[in-house]
Amino acid sequence: MPTVERAAPQANILIGDVVLGESPRWRDNRLWFSDWGARQLIAVDLEGRREVILRLPAFPFCFDWLPSGELLIANERHILRLKPDGALSTYAELGGLSDKAWNEIVVDGRGAAYVNNIGFDFPGGAFKPGIVAVVTPDGKTRQVADGVAFPNGMAVTPDNATLIVAESYGKKLTAFDISADGGLSNRRVWADLGDGVPDGIALDAEGAVWYADVPNKRCVRVREGGEVLETIILDRGCFSCALGGPDGPDAIHGRGRMARDNGRS
């Protein structure tokens, strides 16, 4: 199958004035994302109307939802939970596993929250491999993987059987089997990306993965095994991507802007 390439002019800008957009999620007919530069969690609809959900004095911070609908936020040394009244409470402490800031979070359908840590001070520190931890629904926290070369975006398959992790410095997507107790096993290369540098990722309905690529200024769709199915060329580095919208288009963002690509359903 030939690779399909599309250029950035086919994208619609939803909002501007984003300092550093990250961790996009589609929920309740809106695109939610973290603006690390503005220290805000923002939701925006397809008409460009934005709402600041909360302000958080942290860098970085990413988020996902529990099956109950409560919002979890990975915030430096711990995970916070946003209560219905808008108050924040501590859901889990992570400082005992690493003294570095935590990065991405994803919650599976059973309520296990996976978070990763790059393992060194970025960008100035010397590289060290990172880790993945899990917070199970009973509140227990433990490390479940190590030796990950700059862990970044993560996704869980709909059957809750597989966790896929982007290894930015490894230039690959790595998969693990998820056990009933939240543990990870059977580590394997899900896709070798060649010169690709995966940041944030998203699974689509066909089981393929979209990954954002900062240095190569693109967003790429690959299937398990590494076959490239589609590439969207951008005019700047792309930090993360999400799938959403009433017809399932791709929501893609780069530094300083949010954009929705209309070319694929």
Instruction: Show me where the domains of the chain are located.
Output: 4-261
Q: In what order do the strands lie in the sheet with 141-148?
A: 102-107, 113-117, 130-135, 141-148
From residue 124, give the alpha-carbon distance in Å to each of 120, 121, 127, 132.
9, 6, 9, 22
**Higher pLDDT among residues 233 and 162, named by residue:** 162
Q: For the chain, how many residues are written?
A: 265
Range name among 89-93, 110-114, 119-123, 226-230 with the lowest pLDDT average: 119-123
The whole-number average pLDDT for the span 58-83 is 93
The whole-number average pLDDT for the span 22-26 is 94
Residue of 210, 212, 235 lying closest to 221 (CA atoms):
210
**Burial zone of 170 (CB within 10 Å; 0-12 exposed, 13-18 middle, 19+ buried):** buried
For residue 17, the one-letter residue type is D
- Give the model's confidence band at 115: pLDDT under 50 very low, under 70 low, under 90 confident, else very high: very high
User: pLDDT tens digit string along 244-265?
Assistant: 887 654 433 333 333 333 222 2
The per-residue pLDDT of the chain, averaged, comes to 88
Q: How far apart are alpha carbons 40 and 219 in whole angstroms?
A: 24
- Helix/strand/coil for 10: helix
Question: 4-261, what's its fold?
Answer: Neuraminidase (2.120.10)
On the question of pLDDT at 68 being above 60, the answer is yes
pLDDT of residue 110: 95
- Helix/strand/coil for 42: strand
Apex 128 CA angle, 64 and 150, nearest 5? 35
pLDDT of residue 12: 79
- Give the model's confidence band at 85: pLDDT under 50 very low, under 70 low, under 90 confident, else very high: confident
This model's pTM is above 0.75: yes
Q: How far apart are alpha carbons 69 and 23 in whole angstroms?
A: 17
On the question of pLDDT at 219 being above 50, the answer is yes
